[in-house]
């Protein structure tokens, strides 16, 4: 894998720009744009978790939507069956995602390349079909009646507040993932992606680093799932279908793999194409599929790469 | 009832075999997982549908739909797959993922989003009586198609020079290239053949399952599982894997509908964890 | 004594690559292992580092048996190795390469989330190591942009990043020009004054100028050991090794 991005300054600059535009949209938007914004923020969380795993760790998961499902379903069950406070539900979903992710990671990180992709696909589909047939999880109908939290006297069922709540979480998760990326753990993950044998011979616990990162990534995906359930008020098995993971990977490729804030940009672009173009043209899937292929083939560093070129161009011409 | 289920399982296994054999050999040769393989299966069914509608002959569809998908496969190879062999696995997988969308939308634009069906050919319209149970003859024909393809492939792979070269390329790509085997050409032909077989699977099951957009997704994951469980690159693996998955799926749905698919995925996960190369790995 | 190999044997199928090899190495000693191709020196090297396990015999390191320990555990005990072919982190700069190598022993806790670039102790350490292997000028170069010789130097730099108590160097001069060889010999000579070093080498001159003691392997047997002078004058070695070479 080549061209994994590591430019801390540009990463932060892009993130700030994206956050500012989110605030702008939230202030001036209507109900629908705010809903769209909320969806995009949640997908950004998911894309960032995948970006950390695939971009930094080289672990390409085609079953990561399983953790979206785990987060969403545990939130639903904790809220409906155990009457737990919605905010606490999200926290618990993160913990559950972390534990399950770490355990799964511990077992599967020894596989590599295409086999890692296949095993995550198998596990993801296992969860999906389990959710689909399990009566406790509501089968193909899923579970509905999930409410959003009330925090500091604010009812987050009001879209304006919920978007801000999501934005704060996005900032926290970004700060956390950026810190992990720059930490010894993240740098070692980088090193493992490039040359895992050498990390072993330097005394690094490759397996521990990788499974810990898998757990971290799963926890964030699980948070995204929990928030998605609260946004929509219901959860269905579709959330954990493998194509959702595939779309997540597309987002990080479009945004620029390994750049973290590029993943958010990717989520914005891909989601808007999916949901807005489909209203404009009848053959949007054809466009999207073709677009993906062209980006994967010719825009190796994604939109991030373009931004980087643009930035360098400006610096040179100053 | 029991015999019916066995035959159903066998029929499903043979469909899976037709689908997975092309995928597995391409994987063995190129180390590429083609997620769009299911799309070619769907296209096989749709092209068959069109030929059947125009000519009113299932047999013309049966012959020409696979040829059409093989040609499509050849085109795909020439414009895309040829160039992505050195690309990292994620990009390969995502490229073929993009093809799924294109396939789905093309089918919808050309044939509409309604589901269609193809009538069973005259020859097999009457059910047959096997040990006191009536069974549709057409399904027996599907089994026969699968077995015929299996025997032909076995003969070609094991007994001919071409087959020996394919096997050598699967086992050791670089060495075969050094030995002067034209791996490029082998890749091209096996890829096209694999796509043709996917199309054959599509057109043969069309009278049973119907023709609709999304039929590719239903078989794709199962096909991938067959490939991985059987061991990429192995004909025997594809056969055993297809039988295993076909029978577990069919009988699972009858006896414990809730657990059937989960068992299959769990089996795949376990095999990958403990035997990362699959049961009959040639890698 | 820091490490002792006792009756190490290893075979691949019917091929006995190592037969009852016993070697003991003292602290601060610089030892060379030589032998013609296929003599088993690479296998021996891999058995010491832990990337292969022996069939028979045992390895005692600092009075503890390390037979069953994996490569990473041995590395944490202080057995560090450089590879015959460069094994670097290609997308990282020289500085980052060394910092990653230095960062393997961190404690679990909040400390984990502190940026690697802000850890003064690791940065100072990485400057020291860069200095040691002569790469101070190249700290911000991406490692895949370095010349081959400089990459070899970085290869050794990674190996000494964790203050090893035993340094294993696998053909440090492999594929180098004369000038580059001179540089690295000078460097290793300095390193060998404070690290216990085992060097596996093809180039006899390099070994003669570095090692205090030389073990000669031939077809899996330890046929001779002694000082460089003794090896030079040994008839047996000349017949079996140098004879073959010429």
pLDDT band (50, 70, 90) for residue A224: very high
Taking the C-alpha atoms of residue B202 and residue B38, their distance in angstroms, rounded to an integer, is 9
Residue A267's pLDDT is 92
A146-151 average pLDDT score: 78
The whole-number average pLDDT for the span B12-19 is: 90
Cβ within 8 Å of residue C218, ≥6 positions away:
C35, C36, C39, C240, C241
* pLDDT(C54) > 70: yes
CATH number of the domain within which C186 lies: 3.40.50.300
Q: What is the pLDDT of residues A240-264, one digit of tens each?
A: 988 899 889 889 988 888 888 889 9
Of the candidates A66, A41, A83, A10, the one whose C-alpha atom is nearest the C-alpha of residue A315 is A10
Q: Which domains does chain A have, with CATH numbers?
A: 8-264 (1.10.3470)
For residue C29, tell me if it sits in a domain: yes
Q: Give the residue from chain B lying closest to A124, CA to CA.
A: B265
Contact assessment for residue B41 and residue B16, using Cβ atoms and an 8 Å cutoff:
no
How near does any CA of chain B get to the CA of A252, in Å?
11
Q: Enumerate the residues of chain A whose CB falls inside 8 A of the CB of residue B221.
A: 121, 125, 242
Q: Please tell me the total count of domains within chain C.
A: 1
At CB < 8 Å, which residues of chain C contact A?
49, 51, 70-73, 75-76, 80-81, 83, 87-92, 96, 99-101, 103-106, 112-117, 119, 158, 161-162
Angle at C214 between CA C210 and CA C219, to 5 degrees: 130
* Chain B residues close to A118, C-beta within 8 Å: 33, 224, 228, 268, 272
Whether A107 sits inside 8 A of B273 (CB atoms) is: yes
Q: Kindly state the DSSP code that residue B121 receives in the 8-state scheme.
A: P
The 10s digit of each residue's pLDDT in B112-171 is 878 888 878 777 777 777 777 777 888 888 888 889 988 998 888 888 877 787 777 777
* Residue A3 reports pLDDT greater than 50: no
Top-ranked range on mean pLDDT: pick from A209-218, C94-103, C200-209? A209-218
pLDDT at A1 over 60: no
Backbone angles phi, psi at C213, to 5 degrees: -140, 140
Tell me what percent of the residues of chain A surpass a pLDDT of 90. Answer: 24
Q: How far is CA A310 from CA A2, A176, A300, A306, in A?
A: 21, 28, 16, 6
Residue % of chain A over a pLDDT of 70: 98
Interface of A with C (CB under 8 A): 2, 4, 176, 179-180, 182-188, 190-191, 194-195, 197-206
Q: What integer pLDDT is reported at residue A160 of this predicted model?
A: 75
Of A184, A191, A200, the CB nearest to C89: A191
Provide mean pLDDT across the span C19-34.
86
Say if the Cβ atoms of A187 and C113 lie within 8 Å: no
Residues C97 and A180: their CA atoms lie apart, in Å, by: 18
Token pair of A104 as six digits? 């799964």
Q: Which is more confident, A281 or B93?
A: B93
Query: Residue C108 — very low, low, confident or very high, per pLDDT cuts 50/70/90?
Result: low
Cβ atoms B220, B204 nearer than 8 A: no
Interchain CB distance below 8 Å, A125 and B266: no
Q: With contacts defined as CB-CB under 8 Å, which chain A residues touch B99? A: 289, 293
Buried b (16+ CB within 10 A) or exposed e, C118-157: ebeebbebbeebbebbbbeebbebbbeebeebbbbbbbbb
Residue A119 has its nearest CB partner, among B97, B261, B272, at B272
Segment A150-160, tens digit of pLDDT = 777 677 677 77
> What is the arithmetic mean of pLDDT over C223-242?
77
Tokens of B11: 């029929």
**How much is the pLDDT for B278?**
65
- pLDDT tens for C142-175 read 888 888 888 888 888 888 888 888 888 888 888 7
pLDDT band of B90, cuts 50, 70, 90? confident
Is the Cβ pair C72, A205 closer than 8 Å? yes
3-state secondary structure of A56: helix
Q: What's residue C246's pLDDT?
A: 44
CB contact under 8 A, B228 and A115: yes
Closest CA in chain A for residue C50: A201
Residue A2 at interface with chain B, using a CB cutoff of 8 Å: yes
**CA-to-CA dists, residue B93 to A57, A73, B89, C177, angstroms:** 17, 28, 6, 43
CB contact under 8 A, C72 and A179: no
pLDDT band at A98 (very low <50, low <70, confident <90, very high): very high
> First-to-last CA distance in chain C?
36
Average model confidence (pLDDT) across chain B: 82
With a cut of 50, say whether residue A120 has pLDDT above it: yes
Find where tokens 């809903």 sit. A35
Residue C40, pLDDT score: 81
pLDDT for residue C243: 55
* A172-196 tens-digit pLDDT: 999 999 888 888 888 888 888 888 8
CB C164 within 8 A of CB C78: yes
Average pLDDT over residues C3-22: 84
Please indicate, yes or no, if residue C66 is contained in any of the structural domains.
yes
Averaged over A285-293, what is the pLDDT? 84
- Which residues in chain A have their CB less than 8 angstroms from residue B226's CB? none
Confidence of residue A71 (pLDDT cuts 50, 70, 90): very high
Q: How far is CA A229 from CA A42, A46, A73, A149, A222, in A?
A: 10, 13, 8, 12, 11
What is the pLDDT averaged over residues C212-223? 84
Q: Tell me which chain A residue has its CA closest to the CA of residue B258.
A: A133
Instruction: Supply the mean pLDDT for chain C.
Output: 83
Q: Which residues of A touch C104 (CB under 8 A)?
A: 188, 199, 202-204
Residue C171 falls in which region: left (phi positive, over 0), alpha (psi -120 to 50) or beta: left
Cβ <8 Å between A188 and C100 = yes
Shortest CB distance from B90 goes to which of A1, A126, A283?
Answer: A1
Q: Is the pLDDT of residue C129 over 70?
A: yes
Q: What are the boundaries of each domain within chain B?
A: 13-215
DSSP state of C52: S
The whole-number average pLDDT for the span C16-35 is 85
- Residue C235: both structure tokens together: 């008839």
- pLDDT for B280 beyond 80: no
CB-nearest to A293 from B35, B98, B109 is B98
Which of B93, B94, B258 is closest, CB to CB, to A133?
B258
Of B207, B206, B226, which is closest to residue B216 (Cα–Cα)? B206
- Higher-pLDDT residue of A213 and A139 is A213
pLDDT at A2: 39
> Which tokens sit at C237?
């070695």
Domain assignment present for C135? no
The arithmetic mean of pLDDT across residues C49-78, rounded, is: 86
8 A C-beta contact, residue A123 and residue A115: no
B with C: touching (≥3 Cβ pairs within 8 Å): no
Which pLDDT tens digit goes with each residue over C186-201? Answer: 888 888 888 889 998 8
Can you tell me the mean pLDDT for B232-238? Answer: 80
Alpha carbons within 13 A on the beta-carbon side of B276: 13
Cite the DSSP H helix spans in chain B. 2-30, 37-55, 58-79, 89-111, 137-159, 161-171, 173-178, 183-209, 215-230, 235-255, 260-274
Check whether B243 has a pLDDT greater than 50.
yes
Of all residues in chain C, what percent carry a pLDDT higher than 90? Answer: 0
Domain that includes residue C234, residue range = 3-91+164-245
- Choose among A134, A242, A290: nearest Cβ to B102: A290
Summarised one tens digit per residue, pLDDT across range B193-210 is 889 999 999 999 888 888
The closest of A71, A66, A74 to A120, measured between CA atoms, is A66
More confident: C228 or B178: C228
Longest Cα separation, chain C: 62
**Given a contact as 3+ CB pairs under 8 Å, which chains touch C?**
A
**Minimum distance, in Å, between the CA of residue C152 and any CA atom of chain A:** 14
DSSP alpha helix (H) spans, A51-136: 65-82, 86-108, 113-133
Interval C62-72 mean pLDDT? 85
Can you tell me the distance from the alpha carbon of B143 to that of B135, in angstroms, rounded to the nearest whole number?
A: 13
Q: What is the pLDDT of residue A205?
A: 83
SS3 state at A144: strand
Across residues B9-27, what is the average pLDDT?
Answer: 87
Q: Do A286 and B102 touch (CB under 8 A)?
A: yes
Q: Does the pLDDT at position C225 exceed 70?
A: yes
**Residue B70: predicted pLDDT:** 92
Which of A3, A6, A201, A210 is the best substitution to test chain C (most C C-beta atoms within 10 A)? A201
pLDDT over 70 for what percent of chain C?
Answer: 93
């Amino acid at each position: 894998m080549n061209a994994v991005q590591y430019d801390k300054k540009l990463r932060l600059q892009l993130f700030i720009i994206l956050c500012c535009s989110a605030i702008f949209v939230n202030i001036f938007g209507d109900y629908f744009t705010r809903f769209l914004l909320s969806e995009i923020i949640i997908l950004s969380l998911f894309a960032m978790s995948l970006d950390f795993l695939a971009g930094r760790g080289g672990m390409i998961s085609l079953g990561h939507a399983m953790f979206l499902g785990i987060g969403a379903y545990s939130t639903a069950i904790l809220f409906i069956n155990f009457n737990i406070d919605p905010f606490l539900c999200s926290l618990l979903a993160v913990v559950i995602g972390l534990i399950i992710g770490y355990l799964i990671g511990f077992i599967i990180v020894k596989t590599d390349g295409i086999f890692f992709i296949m095993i995550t696909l198998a596990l993801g589909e296992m969860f999906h079909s389990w959710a689909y047939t399990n009566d406790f999880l509501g089968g193909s109908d899923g579970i509905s009646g999930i409410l959003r939290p009330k925090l500091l006297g604010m009812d987050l069922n009001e879209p304006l507040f919920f978007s801000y709540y999501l934005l704060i979480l996005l900032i926290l998760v970004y700060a956390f993932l950026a810190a992990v990326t720059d930490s010894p753990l993240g740098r070692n993950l980088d090193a493992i992606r490039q040359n895992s044998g050498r990390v072993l011979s330097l005394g690094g616990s490759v397996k521990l680093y990788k499974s810990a990162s898998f757990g971290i990534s799963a926890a964030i995906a699980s948070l995204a799932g929990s928030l998605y359930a609260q946004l929509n008020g219901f959860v269905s098995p579709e959330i954990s279908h493998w194509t959702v993971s595939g779309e997540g990977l597309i987002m990080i490729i479009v945004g620029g793999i390994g750049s973290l804030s590029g993943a958010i940009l990717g989520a914005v672009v891909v989601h808007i194409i999916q949901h807005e173009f489909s209203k404009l043209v009848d053959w949007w899937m054809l466009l999207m599929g073709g677009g993906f292929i062209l980006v994967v083939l010719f825009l190796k560093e994604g939109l991030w790469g373009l931004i980087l070129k643009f930035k360098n161009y400006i610096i040179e011409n100053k | 009832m029991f015999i019916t289920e066995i035959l159903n399982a066998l029929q499903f296994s043979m469909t899976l075999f037709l689908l997975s054999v092309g995928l597995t050999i391409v994987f063995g040769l190129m180390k590429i997982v083609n997620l769009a393989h299911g799309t070619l299966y769907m296209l096989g069914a749709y092209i068959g549908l069109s030929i059947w509608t125009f000519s009113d002959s299932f047999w013309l569809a049966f012959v020409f739909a696979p040829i059409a998908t093989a040609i499509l496969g050849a085109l795909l190879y020439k414009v895309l797959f040829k160039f992505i062999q050195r690309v990292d696995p994620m990009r390969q997988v995502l490229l073929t993922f993009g093809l799924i969308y294109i396939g789905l939308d093309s089918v919808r634009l050309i044939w509409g989003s309604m589901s269609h069906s193809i009538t069973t050919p005259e020859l097999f319209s009457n059910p047959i009586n096997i040990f006191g149970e009536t069974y549709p003859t057409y399904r027996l024909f599907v089994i026969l198609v699968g077995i015929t393809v299996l025997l032909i492939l076995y003969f070609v792979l094991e007994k001919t020079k071409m087959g020996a070269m394919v096997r050598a390329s699967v086992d050791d790509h670089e060495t075969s290239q050094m030995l002067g085997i034209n791996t490029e050409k082998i890749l091209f032909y096996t890829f096209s053949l694999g796509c043709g077989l996917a199309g054959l699977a599509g057109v043969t099951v069309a009278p049973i399952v119907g023709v609709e957009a999304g039929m590719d997704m239903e078989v794709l994951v199962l096909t991938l599982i067959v490939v991985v469980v059987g061991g990429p690159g192995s004909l025997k693996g594809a056969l055993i894997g297809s039988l295993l998955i076909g029978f577990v799926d069919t009988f699972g749905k009858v006896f414990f509908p809730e657990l059937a698919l989960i068992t299959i995925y769990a089996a795949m996960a376990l095999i990958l964890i403990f035997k990362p190369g699959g049961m009959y790995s040639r890698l | 004594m820091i490490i002792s190999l006792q009756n190490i044997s290893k075979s691949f199928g019917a091929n006995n690559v190592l037969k009852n090899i016993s070697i003991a190495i003292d602290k601060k000693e610089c030892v060379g292992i030589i032998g013609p191709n296929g003599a088993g020196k690479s296998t021996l090297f891999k058995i010491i580092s832990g990337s292969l396990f022996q069939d028979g015999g045992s390895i005692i390191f600092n009075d503890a048996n390390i037979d069953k320990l994996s490569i990473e555990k041995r590395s944490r005990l202080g057995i560090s190795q450089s590879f015959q072919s460069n094994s670097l982190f290609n997308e990282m700069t020289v500085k980052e390469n060394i910092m990653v190598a230095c960062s393997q022993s961190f404690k679990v806790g909040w400390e984990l989330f502190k940026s690697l670039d802000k850890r003064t102790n690791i940065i100072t350490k990485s400057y020291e190591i860069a200095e040691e292997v002569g790469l101070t000028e190249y700290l911000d170069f991406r490692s895949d942009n370095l010349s081959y010789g400089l990459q070899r130097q970085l290869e050794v730099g990674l190996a000494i990043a964790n203050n090893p108590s035993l340094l294993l160097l696998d053909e440090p001069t492999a594929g180098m020009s004369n000038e580059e060889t001179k540089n690295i010999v000078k460097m290793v000579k300095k390193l060998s004054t404070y690290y216990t070093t085992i060097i596996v080498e093809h180039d006899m001159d390099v070994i003669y100028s570095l090692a205090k003691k030389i073990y000669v392997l031939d077809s899996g047997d330890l046929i001779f050991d002694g000082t460089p002078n003794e090896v030079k004058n040994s008839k047996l070695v000349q017949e079996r090794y140098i004879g073959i070479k010429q």
